[in-house]
Structure 1
Amino acid sequence: MSVMRKMLNLPPKKPKGGEEKVAAEVNAAQGPASIAGEGNGAGARTPPALGWAEEVESSGRSAARKAGRVAIWLVIGLAAFTGVRTWVFPTKPPAPIEQQDPQAEARKNHVPEAEAQQVAARFARSYMTWNSQAPEIRAKEVEADLAKGIDPKLGWNGEGIQLVAQTIPGPVTQIGGKRARVRVDVRVSVITGSGKSQRTVSSWRGLEVPVAQGKERVVVTGQPALVGMPTAGSYKAPDEPEADAELSGATRDTVKQFLTSWAAGSEDQAAAPGADIEPLGGQIALDALDSWTVDVGSGDKRTGTATVRWKFGGAQLQQSYQITITKVSASSASRWQVEAVTAKAA
């Protein structure tokens, strides 16, 4: 009997067909004498045993067989339990790992930029405006945006007169801890001289305003500081496109008529159908169309450059425009009309 059949406690294996045949032939060869000998007692010869002989199993083999059987059933039971458990309690996917964003953490300590610019611009107007005849007005306006407990004079000696015409908030420099510096450009005017020689002089001043996020709102935390204004920068304009001399000459009167009507507020008469061109606003007139050139190209829509002199405010002012013209056809005739007007990009 195989070890596996014993471990699983299966019945003995039956002999195959060939084994039965061999046993029958042995019995036939022994003949009747063998059978008769069975009745003669001691003189009879015992026939040899055929088939499976019962074997006495040792205690060691019996214990190993039982242990193996237990191990097999444990494996089967564990597999079945694990499968059922996963059906009833499916394995939960691991929680996603949150990625830390250092910039997001730093932004938590930033001052809100829009509010900081608004506060700094209003404060700059109050701070840069003074009048020795009414110092209390400046103090009251400065205190509106200044942190409590700070002297509203902020270094002013109480003399002079200066007015602010405009303030333009600029970049906000975050310095951490809910603090920042705000750049503000301030247009100031001062009166110089006296009598007939008295005049008003205006200029731009750069100012950096320290701000911080308080409990309720953004406040100015101390004295601002004057800083320099930007200087002129260099720039190389691209080369001008080649001009279409023939089309420039053929459409010059059309463009001039449009500009004249545009200044008078009736540009619809000279503009192409469907064009959306807002009027200039009156009290302005075309003094001259100094130049008009159409860029080389093809098709029914072309672009050109116009140099124009306007008359308004008692002066002449020359400006350059980029004008788009389009060919409009009606019946058997066609003509060029203005479709769009914008400032020329240098």
Structure 2
Amino acid sequence: MARRSTVQHDPRIAGEPELSARLDTADFDAPPPRRPRRGGWSGGGGRWLVWTGRIILWALIVVVVVNGIRAPFERFTRQEVAAPNGAVQEQHGFPVERGMAFAAQFAGVYLNFNPDDATSRSSKLAAFLAQGMDPQMGWDGFGKLAAVAVQAYDLKASDANNAVVSVAFQSGPRRMLLSVPIYYSGDDAGERFVVSGRPAILPAPAPADLPQVAKPETDDAAAAELKPQLEGFFKDYADGDTAGLQRYVAAGKSLPSFGGALTFAELKEIVVPVGGATREIQAVVVWTVPNGDVPPTPDSTDPATAGGHLEQAYRLTVEKQGDKWFVADIRGAGRVAD
């Protein structure tokens, strides 16, 4: 029976490389080799910039084209041009304010006539009429007409040279309108106006319907405190007593007075809403108006010296300082709840 050799063989044999059970960590730290990418798009950043530039360029072109179309359309369709302070307001290039002033001046002459003044009227009208027009503008020389409160009311221009102006006026108890066609020569022809046709009298619109307003909740206690203060204030406010007036005016405030032009007669009504130390109140005051140059005499029964009475409504800002009320401001009341 053969025996196994007891000689141990060294695994390391001379002349052969030494084997080691340890791993070299440097092999793990090294990055894997890069493979060439297939199917990619090299140089894409440049193309995106080109397309972005094209989009921006087309957007600018669209904006320019739209504005170019819209601008003339707005110029032709607008009815009025908002004018800054000091500038001439225009419709279709027609000067509105100057045209209305010309028509109102013409109406003041045209609407007033009587047989005794026919010659004078025709000579005055000549300043507004073109050559060859009827010097009396349709009036046959008979009858009478008188107009007051002549005011330019409206203007409608059809183009830069032609317009129709409405002029409001009062004749007796009636309020009416006069329609006046006028022509404007333009800037290159002296900026002149002329009546271009026969006027027309029209009825004016009726007064508007005024809705009722609710009365505010009132403070009767504050009204009782304010009444004597306001009576003294309005008396000195009418008389022009500067020193006396300051007793009723809030500290740091100064108010002008009538200086004797009117005389205080009565504080007829006072409305004081609920509030704090500063309030907006309403007062109805009765003034005595002089009868000509004669100063009015209170409680006089003589018509020559009694004067007339006129009711006026005021809105006052009052402030309570300590235990008294003082006036900080006074102005027209506007609409007062009845």
Q: Into which bin does the TM-score normalised by the smaller protein fall?
A: 0.5 to 0.7
Inter-partner Cα distance in structure 2 for 1:281 and 1:140: 44
Quick check: 1:342 aligned with 2:325?
no
The letter for the 2-side match of 1:184 is: V
Match of 2:289 in 1: 312
Quick check: 1:303 aligned with 2:286?
no
Q: Is the 8 A contact 2:175 2:203 kept in 1?
A: no
Residues 327 and 210 of structure 1, relative CA distance in 2, 3 Å threshold = same
Match of 1:242 in 2: 217
CA shift, 1:342, in A, is 1.9
Quick check: 1:254 aligned with 2:254?
no
Identity score, percent: 24
126, 141, 145: which is aligned to 2:128? Answer: 145
315, 323, 328: which is aligned to 2:316? Answer: 323
CA shift, 1:251, in A, is 1.6
Q: Deviations over 1:219-256 (max 9, x none)?
A: 21011100002212112232121111111111211111
Residues 164 and 233 of structure 1, relative CA distance in 2, 3 Å threshold = closer
Q: Deviations over 1:279-330 (max 9, x none)?
A: 23533112111222311012x21122212211114221222222211123xx
The letter for the 2-side match of 1:255 is: L
The letter for the 2-side match of 1:248 is: A
TM-score (structure 1 length as normaliser): 0.62
Match of 2:198 in 1: 223
> Match of 2:198, SS?
coil
Q: Is the 8 A contact 1:306 1:321 kept in 2?
A: yes
Unmatched runs of 5 consecutive residues or more in structure 2: 1-59, 80-90, 291-306
Inter-partner Cα distance in structure 2 for 1:204 and 1:282: 35
CA RMSD across the alignment: 3.0
Inter-partner Cα distance in structure 1 for 2:201 and 2:74: 30
Match of 1:126 in 2: 109
Inter-partner Cα distance in structure 2 for 1:218 and 1:161: 28
Inter-partner Cα distance in structure 2 for 1:276 and 1:96: 58
Residues 276 and 124 of structure 1, relative CA distance in 2, 3 Å threshold = farther
- Which range moved further: 99-108 or 121-130? 99-108
The letter for the 2-side match of 1:139 is: S
Unmatched runs of 5 consecutive residues or more in structure 1: 1-92, 189-200
Q: Deviations over 1:38-94 (max 9, x none)?
A: xxxxxxxxxxxxxxxxxxxxxxxxxxxxxxxxxxxxxxxxxxxxxxxxxxxxxxx86
CA shift, 1:202, in A, is 6.5
Quick check: 1:279 aligned with 2:257?
yes
Q: Is the 8 A contact 1:302 1:326 kept in 2?
A: yes
> Match of 1:251, SS?
helix
Alignment of structure 1 residues 60-209 onto 2, 5 Å: 96-97=64-65, 98=68, 99-106=70-77, 109-176=92-159, 178-188=161-171, 203-209=174-180
Inter-partner Cα distance in structure 2 for 1:187 and 1:323: 34
CA shift, 1:338, in A, is 0.7
Inter-partner Cα distance in structure 1 for 2:287 and 2:112: 36
Q: How many residues align?
A: 243
Structure ranking higher in strand proportion: 1
- Which range moved further: 108-117 or 165-174? 108-117
TM-score (structure 2 length as normaliser): 0.64
Bigger Rg, which one: 1
Q: Is the 8 A contact 1:111 1:218 kept in 2?
A: no
Runs of 4+ in 1 over 6 A off after TM superposition: none
Q: Is the 8 A contact 1:264 1:284 kept in 2?
A: yes
Inter-partner Cα distance in structure 1 for 2:126 and 2:259: 41
Match of 1:212 in 2: 183
> Match of 2:138, SS?
coil
The letter for the 2-side match of 1:316 is: H
Inter-partner Cα distance in structure 2 for 1:109 and 1:304: 47
251, 256, 269: which is aligned to 1:291? Answer: 269
> Match of 2:97, SS?
helix
> Match of 1:306, SS?
strand
The letter for the 1-side match of 2:328 is: E
Inter-partner Cα distance in structure 2 for 1:268 and 1:117: 45
